[in-house]
Amino acid sequence: MPQIIKGIAASDGIGIAKAYLLIDPDLSFEKKTIDDPVAEYERVEKAFSASIADLATIKQNAKSRLSDEELEVFDAHIAILSDPEMKSQIKDEIE
């Protein structure tokens, strides 16, 4: 038997399409004391580098489907992850 999900209509009329259920992600985290701030900051740097590489790959794969203007969102995210001021603040917080 199909599952019935009720919602609120955004406009009058009928729409036929796949339905997606949006679920709030679990953003909880555990606070802990860092014994080696240098190693922790290196871990953050690796995560940022991996994220930048992932975004570049996604952007490259999306080039055939998105306009240049739409692709700029990837550049904005990469710029945020590359921001030296933000990285400095993170480093200060870790230390």
3-state secondary structure the chain: CCCCCCCCCCCCCCCCCCCCCCCCCCCCCCCCCCCCHHHHHHHHHHHHHHHHHHHHHHHHHHCCCCCHHHHHHHHHHHHHHHCHHHHHHHHHHHC
Give the global pTM: 0.68
Q: What is the mean pLDDT of each run of 10 residues along the chain (95 residues)?
A: 75 80 89 91 96 97 94 96 96 91
Give residues with Cβ within 8 angstroms of 51, minimum separation 6.
81
pLDDT, position 6: 76
